[in-house]
A and B are shown apart, each in its own frame.
Chain A
Amino acid sequence: MLNNYRPDLNSFLIWLVAILVAVLPIMMLWEIARDGLPHLTLSFLLDEPSNAGRSGGIFPMLVSTFWILGVCLLAVIPIGLGCALYLSECIQAENPIARWVGLSLDVLSGVPSIVFGLFGYAIFALHLGLGFSIVSGGLSLACMVLPLFIRTTEHALRSSPPAYRQAAEALNLSFLGFVARILIPSASRGIAVALIISIGRALAETAVLIFTAGYVTRMPSSLSDSGRALSVHIYDLSMNVSGGQNNAAATALVLVIFIILINIFAHRMSRRWQT
C-alpha cells in the first residue's frame, strides 16, 4: 500500500533503516550456518556425545527433546482445547468468568520463563517428587505454552461460521456431536496452526528446562529419567565447555532448521485455512 509514490528523503531514510536492521540477524543466521554446517552430518544426529559434548553427536538430546515435547503436548492439548472451547462456545465474552480467565491467561503469557522454571522445580521436581525428569520438564513447559495454545485455538474456533452453530441448533444436534463432528473438523487447520506455534515456542525454551528436566547427557531410559533438551545443550556447550563451540553451532543449526520448518508448515496451514 502507498508504495507507488515518488521516492523522497524520508523514503530513502526508511529504506536505509530497513536494510541496516536486517544486517545483524542475517549475519547471525549466516554465521551459525557457516560454523554449524561442516559438523552437521548424519552421524552427528545419530551418535552419543562424548568428551562432555565436544565431540560425538546429539542423539540423546534429540530423543529427550521429543519426549519433553510429547509430555508437554499431552498436558496442553486436552486442557487447552477444553479451555478454548469453553471460552468460545459456552460463555459470552462479557461474562466476568471469561474476562478473568482471559486476563489470567494474558498475564500468564507474559510471565518470565525462569519463573516457570522456579515453579516447576519446586512443585513438580521437589513437592510432587518427580525429580529432575522429563515429566517435570514437560509439565513445567506445558504451564508456559498453555496460554499461547489457548488463545490461538480460541481464535480458530471463533472464526468458524456462525451459520454452522445455527444449523446445529435447528437440527437439535447434541453439543458434543456439534463440537466433535462439526466445530473441531471445520476449525482443524486453525487448531493445527495453534499446535505448531506452540511446538515452536516449546522447542525454543531453555530457562524452564534447566532446573526441571535437568542436563544429563546420557540417553533417557524412561520418562522419569533426566534428559537434556537441545536448547540446554547449546547453552551448556557454549558456556561451560571450552572447545564446545563447533558442536554448539551445529546444534543451534539443527534447532534453527526445526524452527524454519515449523514456520513454513504453519504458513502453509494458515494460508489454506483462510481460503
Chain B
Amino acid sequence: MRTNRFVQISLKVSALLAASVLLFILYFLVQESIPLIKTLGMSAFFQGGWYPLEGEYSLTPMLLGSLYVAIGALALAAPLGIVVAIFGQFYAPVLLGKVYRGMVELLSGIPSVVYGFWGLTVLVPWITYWVPPGTSVLAGIIVLAMMVLPLVVLTADSAISSVPRNYIRSAQALGLARWGIIYRLVLPVALPGILSGIMLQSGRALGETMAVLMVTGNVVQLPEGLFKPVRTLTANIALEMAYAVDSHRIALFISGLLLLLMTVLIVSIAHYLKGRRFA
C-alpha cells in the first residue's frame, strides 16, 4: 500500500503517547515521593500511626484495611461468580441465560457511587440493627463483592465459552454426567482464564474508592474484626487530599504510588496466569 510518511508518524506518535500515560503517572508519583522517603526512610511509612499533623505517616492500618476488604470481597465474589457463570452457560434455559447475562452486563456498568449510596442507606442500617456502628469491614466487603461479582461472572463466562465446543460434545457422546463434564473438563480447561480474571478483579477491588469510602466508616485503625470500621488507602487519599499540605500531601502521593505498584504486580500475575495451562 502506498504509505504516507506523515500519517504513519502521527499514528505512531499517538500510540506512544497513549502508552506513555502510565510512565508519566509513575514518573510523577516517584518524583513527588522521593524527597520524603529520603528524609524519613522507608520504614517510617510502615511503623507507628497515621498522625499527619505530628509527622507520623504510617500507612500500615490503611494498607491492611484495603487488603482485608479486598480479600474478603473476592473470597465472597469469586466462588459465587464462577457458579453463576456455570449456571448461565450450562444450566439456565437459553432465554433465561440471555436475560441473566444482560443483567450481569448492566450491573457491571452501574457506577460505584450508586453501590455506595445503596450500602450507606440500606446495608449499613441493617448491620447497625444487629451490631452497631454498622459502618464496618463487613459492609465494605458486601458492597465491594456486589460490585466485583458481575465482572468475575463476565470474565469466567468468556473463559468458559472459549473451551472448544467439541470437547464438550465428545464428553456428552461418551455419556458423561453434566456435573462431571463441568467439573472434570470445562473448569480445568478454563481455569487459567478464570484465575486471570479473578486476579484482575482483585486489582479493581483494591483500587475501588467511592463505594468503600461510603460504607467502611473511615476510622484509621488496624482492622480488628468484621464489625469494626476501617479506612482504606484509596479512601484516605480521597478524604485528605482536599486539605493536605507539605509532607502530609507527599505521604498521600506515596500511598498513590503504593497503589500503583500493587496494580502493576497484580496485572503481571494476571498476565502470567493467562499464559499458563493447568490441564
A binds B: yes
Chain A interface residues (CB < 8 Å from chain B): 1-3, 5, 8, 10-11, 14-15, 17-18, 21-22, 24-25, 27-28, 31-32, 35, 78-83, 85-87, 89-90, 97, 100-101, 103-108, 110-119, 121-123, 143, 146-147, 150, 168-169, 172-176, 178-179, 200-201, 203-207, 210-211, 231, 234-235, 238-239, 245, 248-249, 252, 255-256, 259-260, 262-263, 267
Interface residues of B in 82-132 (CB under 8 A from A): 83-84, 86-94, 97, 100, 102-103, 105-107, 109-118, 120-122
Contact status A205-B111, CB under 8 Å: yes
Chain A proximity mask over B11-53: 1 for CB below 8 Å, otherwise 0: 1111111111111110011001000000000000000000000
B277 interface contact, C-beta 8 A = no
- What residues of chain B lie closer than 8 Å to A106, measured between beta carbons? 267, 271
- Residue from A110, A119, A203 within 8 A of B263 (CB atoms): A110
- The tally of residues in B whose CB lies under 8 Å from a CB in A reads 93
* Chain B interface mostly: helix
Among B3, B8, B207, which residue has its beta carbon within 8 angstroms of that of A113?
B207
A86 close to B234 (CB less than 8 A): no
**Quick check: is B64 within 8 A (CB to CB) of the other chain?**
no
Q: Which residues of A contact B91 (CB under 8 A)?
A: 2-3, 11, 14-15, 18
Known: A17-B80, A22-B103, A204-B111. A174 touches B4 (CB 8 A): yes
CB of B241 closer than 8 Å to a CB of A: yes
B233 to chain A, nearest CB (A): 9
Q: Which chain A residue lies CB-closest to B259? A: A112
B169 nearest CB neighbor, chain A only = A1
- The contact of A114 among B178, B182, B238, by CB within 8 Å, is B238
Judge if B252 is at the interface, Cβ distance under 8 Å. Answer: yes
| Contact present for A107 and B1 (CB under 8 Å) | no
| Residues of B close to A206: CB separation below 8 A | 111-113, 209-210
- Collect the chain B residues with CB atoms within 8 Å of residue A112's CB: 203, 206-209, 234, 259-260, 263
A111 to B20, CA, bound (A): 14
Cβ contact within 8 Å between A119 and B259: no
- Rounded to whole Å, the gap between the CB of B135 and the closest CB of chain A is 11
Our pick among A1, A87, A103 for the contact of B15 (Cβ within 8 Å) is: A87
Given contacts A25-B107, A105-B19, A235-B214, contact A3 B11 (CB under 8 A): no
B10 at the interface (CB under 8 A from A): yes
Contacts A/B (CB < 8 Å), 10 sampled: A3-B91, A5-B177, A14-B87, A106-B267, A112-B259, A203-B111, A206-B113, A207-B210, A252-B113, A259-B106
